[in-house]
Chains A and B, each alone.
Chain A
Amino acid sequence: MSVLLLDHDGQGTHTIAQYLGELEIDADVYKSHQLSIDDIITLDPSHIILSPSEKNLEETIAIIQHLGPDRPMLGIGLGFIAVIQACYGTLESIPGFYAGQVHQVKHTGTRLFHGLPNPLAGVCYQHHSVTVDNLPKTLDVIAWTPSSSKLTDVIVAVKHQSWPLEAILFHPEAMLSEYGHKLLHNFVHK
Chain B
Amino acid sequence: MDEITFSDFAAAGYNYIPVIRKQTWHDSLGALLRCFPESSVWKLAFKHRTYVYLTLDYQHKISAFGNTIVAQQGQTVHTWPDTPLWPYIEDLRAAYTVPPLHSIYADLPPLMGGMIGILPRAPSQNSTTSWPDATWLVMKTVIILDTHEKTLWLLAYDDPIHRHTWITLNQQLDVITKRLADVPEETALMRAHAQQAKIALAHQTTPEALMTLAQAQTQALDACYAAMRYVSTNTVHSALMPEPADFLAYVDSHTIAYWLHSPTFQLLGAADTCHITLSGQTLCGYLASPVPSPDETLASLLWDSLRNDLSQVALPGSMRIVDPAIADGKHHWQQQYLQTQIAEDTSVFDVLRACHPASAFLGCPKIDAPFKLNNTSSEPYLLGCQIAIIGWDHQSVMWVSQKAKHWHSTSDIHVSSGETCEEIGIPVIAGLTPKLAKDKA
A15 neighbours in B (Cβ, 8 Å):
304, 307-308, 311
Q: Chain A at the B interface: mostly helix, strand, loop or mixed?
A: loop
Question: Given A9-B364, A53-B364, A175-B303, A18–B298 Cβ distance below 8 Å?
Answer: no
Q: In the complex the two chains form, is A17's CB within 8 Å of B316's CB?
A: yes
Q: A27, B304: Cβ atoms under 8 Å?
A: no
Contacts A11-B364, A175-B300 given; indicate if A17 touches B311 (C-beta within 8 A). Answer: yes
Q: How far is the CA of A100 from the CA of B361 in the complex (A)?
A: 12
* Bound form: Cα–Cα A82–B135 in Å: 37
Contacting B304 at CB < 8 Å: which of A8, A17, A24, A174?
A174
**Which residues in chain A, 136-177, are within 8 Å of chain B measured between CB atoms?**
171, 173-176
Contacts of B366 in A (CB 8 A): 9
Given A18-B317, A20-B316, residue A10 in contact with residue B311 (CB < 8 A): no
B305 part of interface (Cβ distance < 8 Å): yes
Contact across chains for A21 and B318 when beta carbons are under 8 A apart? yes
Asked if B311 and A175 sit within 8 Å, CB to CB, the answer is: no
Nearest chain-B residue to A9 (Cβ)? B364
Taking CB atoms, residues of chain A closer than 8 Å to B316 are: 17-18, 20-22, 27
Is B357 located at the chain interface by the 8 A CB criterion? no
Alpha-carbon distance between A8 and B363 when the two chains are bound, in angstroms: 11
The answer on a CB contact under 8 Å between B314 and A18 is yes
CB-CB nearest in chain A for B340:
A18
Q: Is the interface of B mostly helix, strand, loop or mixed?
A: helix
Within 8 A of A (CB), among B280-316: 297-298, 300-301, 303-305, 307-309, 311-312, 314-316
Does A71 reach chain B (CB closer than 8 Å)? no
CA–CA, A125 and B315, complex, Å: 26
A100 touches B297 (CB 8 A): yes
Using Cβ atoms and an 8 Å threshold, which residues of chain B touch A23? 317
For the complex, what is the distance from the CA of A102 to the CA of B309, rounded to whole Å?
A: 21
Shortest CB-to-CB span from A148 to chain B, Å, is 15
- For chain B, give the interface size range: 20 to 34
Q: A residues within 8 A CB of B318?
A: 18, 21
User: At the interface, yes or no: B319 with Cβ under 8 Å from chain A?
Assistant: yes
How far does the Cβ of B207 sit from chain A's closest Cβ, in whole Å? Answer: 10
Among residues of A, the one whose C-beta sits closest to the C-beta of B313 is: A14
Q: How many residues of A contact B (CB 8 A)?
A: 29
Given contacts A18-B311, A18-B317, contact A9 B367 (CB under 8 A): yes
Q: Does B8 contact A (CB under 8 A)?
A: no
Contact A11 B317 (CB under 8 A): no
- A174: contacting residue among B300, B315, B340, B364, CB under 8 A: B300
**CB proximity of A5 to chain B, nearest CB, Å:** 11
Would you call B350 an interface residue if the criterion is a C-beta within 8 Å of the partner chain's C-beta atoms? no
* Inter-subunit contact A13/B308 (CB<8 Å): yes
Contacts of A14 in B (CB 8 A): 308-309, 311-312, 314
Bound form: Cα–Cα A21–B308 in Å: 14
CB-contact partner of A176 in B300, B314, B319, under 8 A: B300
Contacts of A100 in B (CB 8 A): 297-298, 300-301, 304
Q: How far is the CB of A8 from chain B (nearest CB, A)?
A: 8
Chain B residues with CB below 8 A from A130, complex form: none
A78 to B79, CA, bound (A): 53
A22 and B300 alpha carbons, distance in the complex (Å): 21
Which residues of A from 1 to 57 have beta carbons under 8 Å from B?
8-15, 17-18, 20-24, 27, 53
Task: Judge if A131 is at the interface, Cβ distance under 8 Å.
Answer: no
For residue B27, CB closer than 8 A to chain A, the reply is no
A-B contact pairs, 18 of them (CB 8 A): A9-B363, A11-B301, A11-B308, A12-B308, A14-B312, A15-B311, A18-B317, A18-B318, A21-B317, A53-B364, A100-B304, A171-B304, A173-B307, A173-B308, A174-B300, A174-B304, A175-B307, A176-B300
Besides the known contacts A101-B297, A123-B300, 17 further A-B residue pairs in the complex with CB atoms under 8 A apart: A9-B366, A10-B363, A12-B307, A14-B314, A15-B307, A21-B318, A22-B316, A27-B316, A53-B364, A100-B300, A100-B301, A102-B297, A173-B304, A173-B307, A174-B304, A175-B300, A176-B300
B residues at A contact (CB < 8 Å): 297-298, 300-301, 303-305, 307-309, 311-312, 314-319, 340, 363-368
